[in-house]
Amino acid sequence: MTDVVADPIYKTDALIAEDIDQYLKVHEHKTMLRFITCGSVDDGKSTLIGRLLYDSKMIFEDQLAALEADSKKVGTQGQEIDFALLVDGLAAEREQGITIDVAYRFFATEKRKFIVADTPGHEQYTRNMVTGASTADLAVILVDARKGILTQTRRHSYLAHLLGIRNIVLAVNKMDLVGYDQAIFNRIVMTYRAFASELGITRFTPIPISGFKGDNITLRSDNTPWYQGPTLIDHLETVEVNSAADAEKPFRMPVQWVNRPNLDFRGFSGLIATGSVRPGDAVRVLPSGKTSSITRIVTLDGDLDEAVAGQSVTLCFADEVDCSRGDVIALADNPPQVADQFESTIVWMSDEAMLPGRPYWLKIGTQTVSATIQQPKYQVNVNTMDQLAAKTLELNAIGVANLSTDKPVVFEPYKDNRTLGGFILIDKISNATVAAGMLHFSLRRAQNVHWQATDVSRDHHAALKNQKPAVLWFTGLSGAGKSTIANLVEKKLARMNRHTFLLDGDNVRHGLNRDLGFTDADRVENIRRVGEVAKLMTDAGLIVITAFISPFRSERDMVRQMMQPGEFIEVHIDTSLADAEARDVKGLYKKARSGELKNFTGIDSPYEAPVDPEIRIDTANLTAEEAADLIVARLIP
Amino acid sequence: MADAKTLTHLERLEAESIHILREVVSEAEKPVMLYSVGKDSAVMLHLARKAFYPSPPPFPLLHVDTTWKFQEMYKLRDRMARESGMELLVYQNPEAKERGINPFDHGALHTDMWKTEGLKQALNLYGFDAAFGGARRDEEKSRAKERIFSFRTASHGWDPKNQRPELWNLYNAKKNKGESIRIFPISNWTELDIWQYIHLNDVPIVPLYFAEQRPTVERDGMLLMVDDDRFPLRPGEEPVMRSIRFRTLGCYPLTGAVESTAKTLPDVIQETLLTTTSERQGRAIDKDAGGAGMEKKKQEGYF
């Protein structure tokens, strides 16, 4: 098919050859648009991107030669050029003939530079599309003219809207295969409009195209005389970019780094999220609320008179105000809010499901805090938009849940400010990015529940008992001997006139925690409650001994964080699985092996041994009596 | 007023790169900048100076040297280290040195030992946990899918199927034991962006990017420059003076020149815009192992 391989339509500007200096002057003022293309597997997404690159002359002769050869070898278009091969980058993908991850492509026209996030359309890759959409100004939703609006079209539109993309293009592709039929195009647009308005998408731009033939991509097509709107490129070149809208909002800059080369200079570096700033402006540092004014906007090329959203700058203050990484510098009389409890939408991105109650790192702007998420209020079925009840969120699930942070966070609702409203969650053990989220609003409750100050202090409680409070936290496999040793330790301490209390796993499950089962989520909640009880008991001056399997490192660390420094003593009762199973005092291993008992630690649920416990008891070499003596000696030297 | 506030594409790219540089310095323990002396490195270094001004960039420059770079590159490298006030670390793989590994006799082994192994050794030796690199996504297919924060195992391998999602401009810099991070602050720049930026900001670059009469031989379809007397001439080969320049710089025996008369930056940009072959075509390294060449190299630990 020779017309496809004809000269690129985007002929290089004649000015390049005639007057390069003039050309450069013009092109230094290009703006940039980031967009995402979403489509189902066969909507021709890769072909469209390949076409955009080709038409804008981003494909060179050597690449074209390689493409022609590849097209014949592995292409899906017979002897014709398979543009999709240009963008299916990784070897594994080319073998499978699918796109498996987010890829970024670049092209430029005479007016703009474009960054395209190319994301796959498969259901299991919601996370990739959300990733691509997070930085996009615009979304091109591709629809195959022969198939019309599919489930995936709805999903892609929902996700684009969820991530706050205001500019949506409905590209009705493969018009060549339906004879450029206006009626088909109109029907698809009507169906989409009805659906889009349900989602809250009020405006979108429908364009009939053929990525393969090039209709209405760069040039208005003679095949669609009934279409009066812009070509795809026309539209991409003229639509408003996010940074322009952000500049009109109130000033906010998260502080990344404090610049202090010597005693005479102290600057605060960051990327301006919204608004603009000038020397003399009154600003407020959050969360402290301290105010000052800007004296200088410092750059290597000299001080600036003004800086706007999207610029990376260094600001200097008139006063010595405390300000460090994680703080937000904002307009003094219109600052963002500070809160520690929120409602949010969460997109789960990890194979390991969300555990309500487990602490995760939450990164928002330049702030990193510890956060726990409550059981979701509901999960959204991304195909039907139905709200479903959910106890957790699994890979690619999207839900709405409340979350609380261990420190106040400077924030704005995501719809107003992507930088101060968008966050990621990081697993504290694997360090993987497990979720992305968007804050809706703060929960007023956070401001209304205050600590009741009590007159008899925890120090006073402890002094009356003449002891230092502590938590001896026993952890280990079922049948390791935790309860036996813990019991001996308590007896020995009682003989020494120490005030103690033993919290035993089985006993607690008969009362306080009788509503909990043995799923991962319930195990987390079990430990959280025990941790809170142990904490109250240390406030009362007691030495608390706990005997729980407590299989997960994260939760043990969470309890450690609840206690006063030095008061949490982790005791690992270290028994091999073989030994514990051989002993099998309660006959539980046998039941677990036969499948009668589910989620049994060591068998079908993991045990994460402590990396660096305060005390480690090797049960192969110590009797229970010897172990108890050793623990008491460590507590009371 | 609203118009004046719309940033140009270069302003947005610059701001993004500076943001990335500052995030790494704030969150990594011991960062380093890999400095290859090419034009991309030149822009990356310039951005670092902007990001931390008036402080000098708070990390050293690391040049993983093969001993086979162009003489002009060594000159600029030393000058830029002086001017930026940064410490310059030069690392040469001692084993490659001892065995006399060179691009003429050892082919792929040359790149493997000097660059891939040399880089791993240098990072291990100094214990850097984060290394800035000047790779761009438009250069090569596998790079188009690589994250800006790209994690490497303890043995420096890359697992393309297991990359962390990167949303907004939030980067997760938390590492597991033994892992290190490669960070690519200029991921979203294209070749043309680099040239325009160099032009607008007067960023110093190696003169080899500009056309000049230089001694050359034509070999295996590439135009090679005879940069020093280590260049073994084959029978019948005679260096010929040609007006050439380079679009990309590496080891001189592996880097193809193009015939050109572009003596100024605008001339170079003009030529770049009018040219019809891609940038890395002049480099032998991408051609091994078919289309998956770079992806394979990266999995093995090449930058």
Q: Catalytic residue at A550?
A: yes
Quick one: average pLDDT of A141-161?
Answer: 91
Sheet strands (E) in A250-392: 252-254, 257-259, 267-271, 276-277, 282-286, 290-298, 307-308, 312-317, 328-331, 337-348, 359-364, 367-373, 378-380, 387-388
Name the pLDDT band for B299 (thresholds 50, 70, 90): low
Q: Which residues 223-252 on chain B approach chain A with CB closer than 8 angstroms?
A: none
Does residue B10 sit at the A interface (CB-CB below 8 Å)?
A: yes
Q: What is the DSSP string of chain B?
A: -HHHHSPPHHHHHHHHHHHHHHHHHHH-SSEEEE---SHHHHHHHHHHHHHHTTSPPSS-EEEE--S-B-HHHHHHHHHHHHHHT--EEEE--HHHHHTT--HHHHTHHHIIIIIIIHHHHHHHHHT-SEEE----TTS-GGGGG--SEEEE-TT----GGGPPP-BTTB------TT-EEEE-TTTT--HHHHHHHHHHHT----GGGS-EEEEEEEETTEEEE--STT-PPPTT---EEEEEE-SS-SBGGGB--EE----SHHHHHHHHHH--S-GGGGBGGGGTTGGGHHHHHHHHT--
pLDDT of residue A530: 92
Chain B residues lying within 8 Å of A112, measured CB to CB: 9
Name the pLDDT band for B297 (thresholds 50, 70, 90): low
Q: Quick one: how far is CA B149 from the chain centroid?
A: 16
Nearest by CB: B170 against A58, A66, A363: A363
Residue B3: pLDDT over 60: no
Residue B160: pLDDT over 90: no
Chain B residues lying within 8 Å of A108, measured CB to CB: 190, 192
Does residue B2 sit at the A interface (CB-CB below 8 Å)?
A: yes
Chain B residue nearest residue A119, CA to CA: B145
- CB pair distance less than 8 Å for B168 and A134: yes
pLDDT tens-digit readout, A490-534: 999 988 889 999 998 778 888 888 888 888 888 888 888 999 999
pLDDT of residue A461: 87
Structure tokens at A619: 């049960």
**CA separation for the pair A134, B228 (Å, rounded):** 50
Nearest by CB: B295 against A20, A90, A276: A90
The complex scores an ipTM of 0.90
- CB pair distance less than 8 Å for B50 and A300: yes
Among the ranges given (A210-224, A361-375, A499-513, B180-194), the one the predictor scored with the smallest mean pLDDT:
A499-513
pLDDT tens-digit readout, A392-427: 999 989 999 999 998 899 999 999 999 999 999 999
**CA separation for the pair B195, B205 (Å, rounded):** 10
3-state secondary structure of A285: strand
Q: Quick one: how far is CA A487 from the chain centroid?
A: 44
pLDDT of residue A86: 65
Q: How far is A337 from chain B (nearest CA, A)?
A: 20
Q: Which residues 135-154 on chain B approach chain A with CB closer than 8 angstroms?
A: 137-138, 141-142, 144-145
pLDDT of residue A3: 39
**CA separation for the pair A469, A453 (Å, rounded):** 20
Among the ranges given (A37-46, A185-194, B170-179), the one the predictor scored with the smallest mean pLDDT:
A37-46
Chain A residues lying within 8 Å of B5, measured CB to CB: 244, 247, 276, 308-309
3-state secondary structure of A552: coil
Chain A residues lying within 8 Å of B12, measured CB to CB: 32, 243, 310
Q: Are B41 and B134 in contact (CB under 8 A)?
A: yes
Quick one: average pLDDT of A569-587?
Answer: 90
pLDDT of residue A4: 40
pLDDT of residue A234: 93
pLDDT of residue A75: 61
List C-alpha distances in Å: B110 to B88, B104, B121, B294.
Answer: 23, 9, 15, 16
Total beta-carbon pairs less than 8 A apart between chain A and chain B:
205
**Interface-testing mutation among B10, B170, B201, B297, with chain A (most A C-beta atoms within 10 A):** B170
**CA separation for the pair B52, B62 (Å, rounded):** 18
- CB pair distance less than 8 Å for A422 and B167: yes
**CA separation for the pair A210, A47 (Å, rounded):** 9
User: In terms of pLDDT, which residue wins out, A256 or A452?
Assistant: A256
Quick one: average pLDDT of A125-138?
Answer: 88
**CA separation for the pair A535, A272 (Å, rounded):** 42
User: In terms of pLDDT, which residue wins out, A5 or A197?
Assistant: A197
- Hunting for tokens 């040359």 — which residue is that? B110
Chain A residue nearest residue B172, CA to CA: A433
Chain B residues lying within 8 Å of A298, measured CB to CB: 53-54
pLDDT tens-digit readout, B35-92: 999 999 999 999 999 999 999 999 999 999 999 999 999 999 999 999 999 999 999 9
Q: How many alpha carbons fall within 13 Å on the CB side of residue B113?
A: 18
Q: Percent of chain A beyond pLDDT 70?
A: 89
pLDDT of residue B217: 94
Q: Are A114 and A106 in contact (CB under 8 A)?
A: yes
- Residue A197 pairs in a beta bridge with none
Nearest by CB: B2 against A70, A244, A423: A244
Chain A residue nearest residue B262, CA to CA: A20
Quick one: average pLDDT of A214-236?
Answer: 93
- CB pair distance less than 8 Å for B165 and A349: yes
The closest alpha carbon to B133, from B196, B40, B246, belongs to B40
Nearest by CB: B266 against A24, A135, A261: A24
Name the pLDDT band for B157 (thresholds 50, 70, 90): confident
Among the ranges given (A11-20, A253-262, A559-568), the one the predictor scored with the smallest mean pLDDT:
A11-20
**CA separation for the pair A275, A333 (Å, rounded):** 14
Residue A130: pLDDT over 50: yes
- CB pair distance less than 8 Å for B12 and A32: yes
Quick one: average pLDDT of A234-261?
Answer: 91
Name the pLDDT band for A9 (thresholds 50, 70, 90): very low
Q: What is the DSSP string of A74-87?
A: H-SSTTS--THHHH
- CB pair distance less than 8 Å for B165 and A361: no
Q: Are A534 and A552 in contact (CB under 8 A)?
A: no
**CA separation for the pair B88, A31 (Å, rounded):** 36
Mean pLDDT of chain A: 87
- Hunting for tokens 């090797």 — which residue is that? A618
Q: Which residues 252-281 on chain B approach chain A with CB closer than 8 angstroms?
A: 266-267, 269-270, 273-278, 281
- Residue A38 pairs in a beta bridge with A141
Size (chain B), residues: 303
- CB pair distance less than 8 Å for B295 and A259: no
**CA separation for the pair A398, B178 (Å, rounded):** 33
H/E element, A398: strand A398-411
Nearest by CB: A103 against B8, B145, B281: B145
Q: Are A374 and A343 in contact (CB under 8 A)?
A: no
Residue A584: pLDDT over 90: no
pTM comes to 0.80
Residue A33 phi/psi, 5-degree rounding, is -125, 130
Structure tokens at B277: 């072959």
Chain B residue nearest residue A270, CA to CA: B19
pLDDT of residue A316: 97
**Interface-testing mutation among B11, B167, B270, with chain A (most A C-beta atoms within 10 A):** B167
Q: Which residues 157-196 on chain B approach chain A with CB closer than 8 angstroms?
A: 160-161, 163-170, 172, 174-176, 187-188, 190, 192-193, 196
Residue A98: pLDDT over 70: no
Name the pLDDT band for B298 (thresholds 50, 70, 90): low
Q: How far is A336 from chain B (nearest CA, A)?
A: 19
- Residue B206 pairs in a beta bridge with none
- CB pair distance less than 8 Å for B137 and A127: no
Chain A residues lying within 8 Å of B267, measured CB to CB: 20
Among the ranges given (A63-67, A254-258, A605-609), the one the predictor scored with the smallest mean pLDDT:
A63-67
**CA separation for the pair B74, B277 (Å, rounded):** 28
User: In terms of pLDDT, which residue wins out, B300 or A416?
Assistant: A416
Q: How far is A544 from chain B (nearest CA, A)?
A: 33
Q: How far is B180 from chain A (nearest CA, A)?
A: 13
Structure tokens at B130: 């984060």
- Hunting for tokens 């600052």 — which residue is that? A335
- CB pair distance less than 8 Å for A91 and B296: yes
Catalytic residue among A46, A404, A550, A554: A550
